[in-house]
C-alpha cells in the first residue's frame, strides 16, 4: 500500500531553512508500506533554502504570502498539489507535517500581518484543503505514535492486499465491530461491491481516528 508523506518527514533538505525535521517513527513505516515523498513547495520550484511563507488574515479568509515581499503563492502551490493527486489516485493515506502552510492539517498559523508574529487562528494548509474534499485518511506526524491509527493503517493495508472484501470483512469483523457496530453491519452488505466497501471503510476509519484523538485530547490545534 502506498502512503504519501510530507517529504521533510522522511528526508532532507526540504524545509525552507534546510533544517532536518525527519521522523524515525514515520521512516520506519517504510518497512511495511511504500512511502511516497511529496513536498508541495519544492515541487512548485521554490527551492531550498527559500523564503518562508505564511497565511495572513484578510477579512474572513487568509492569503498565502511570501514573508519577505508579500508575493501570493497559493495558486502556484495548489497547481502542483492537484497534479500530484491526479497522478496518484490510488493513494488513500497521507501523513503530513504539522504547522506547515502547505501541509498542516488545521495547524498552520494565520498571522494578523505579513511582518508581525501575532497570529489569530489556525487553518488548513494547501494540500489538506484539497484532501478534505476527498475520501482519504490524512493525519499529522504525531499520529504515527497513536496505536489506533497504526491499527487502522494495517487493517487498510490488509484490505488492499487481499483485494477481497468478503474475506477481509470476515477476518477483521472484530476490529470493525470495535470501531462501529452500526457501520460494520453496513459494510457486511457491501462485500460484493468492493468500491463501495472501500469508500465506507475509509470514511469509517477517518471518523474513528478523529474521534479517538478528540477523546484523548490530542486534537488541540483543530477547531
List interacting residues with ligand SF4 (CB under 6 A): 6-8, 14-15, 39-42, 97, 100, 102-103
Nearest CB to ligand SF4, comparing residues 73 and 137? 73
Nearer to ligand SF4, 14 or 197 (CB): 14
Distance CA 3, CA 73 (A): 26
Q: How far is 43 from 38, CA to CA, in rounded Å?
A: 8
d(CA 78, CA 36): 18
If DSSP codes are grouped into helix, strand and coil, which group holds residue 139? strand
Q: Looking at beta carbons only, is 125 or 153 nearer to ligand SF4?
A: 125
How many whole angstroms separate alpha carbon 49 and alpha carbon 155?
39
What is the rounded CA–CA span in Å between residue 184 and residue 178?
Answer: 9
Least distance to ligand SF4, CB of residue 98, Å: 8
- Least distance (Å) from ligand SF4 to the CB of residue 51? 13
Cell of 168: 477481509
Task: Select 6 or 143, whichever has its Cβ closest to ligand SF4.
Answer: 6
CB of 124 to ligand SF4, least distance (A): 13
Q: How far is the CB of 210 from ligand SF4 (least distance, A)?
A: 21
Amino acid at each position: 500500500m502506498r502512503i504519501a508523506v510530507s517529504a521533510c518527514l522522511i528526508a532532507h533538505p526540504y524545509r525552507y531553512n534546510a533544517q532536518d525535521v525527519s521522523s524515525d517513527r514515520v521512516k520506519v513505516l517504510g518497512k511495511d508500506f511504500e512511502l511516497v515523498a511529496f513536498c508541495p513547495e519544492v515541487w512548485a520550484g521554490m527551492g531550498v533554502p527559500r523564503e518562508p511563507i505564511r497565511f495572513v488574515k484578510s477579512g474572513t479568509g487568509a492569503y498565502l504570502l511570501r514573508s519577505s515581499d508579500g508575493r501570493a503563492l497559493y495558486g502556484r502551490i495548489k497547481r502542483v498539489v492537484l497534479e500530484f493527486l491526479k497522478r496518484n489516485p490510488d493513494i488513500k493515506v497521507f501523513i503530513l507535517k504539522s504547522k506547515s502552510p502547505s501541509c498542516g492539517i488545521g495547524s498552520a498559523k494565520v498571522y494578523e500581518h505579513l511582518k508581525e508574529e501575532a497570529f489569530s487562528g489556525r487553518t488548513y494548509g494547501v494540500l489538506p484543503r484539497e484532501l478534505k474534499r476527498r475520501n482519504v485518511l490524512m493525519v499529522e506526524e504525531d499520529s504515527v505514535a497513536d496505536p489506533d491509527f497504526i491499527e487502522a493503517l494495517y487493517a487498510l493495508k490488509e484490505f488492499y492486499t487481499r483485494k477481497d472484501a468478503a474475506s477481509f470483512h470476515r477476518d477483521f469483523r472484530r476490529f470493525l465491530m470495535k470501531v462501529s457496530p452500526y457501520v460494520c453491519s453496513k459494510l457486511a452488505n457491501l462485500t460484493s461491491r468492493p468500491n463501495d466497501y472501500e469508500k465506507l471503510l475509509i470514511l469509517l476509519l477517518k471518523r474513528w481516528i478523529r474521534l479517538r484523538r478528540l477523546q484523548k485530547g490530542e486534537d488541540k490545534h483543530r477547531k
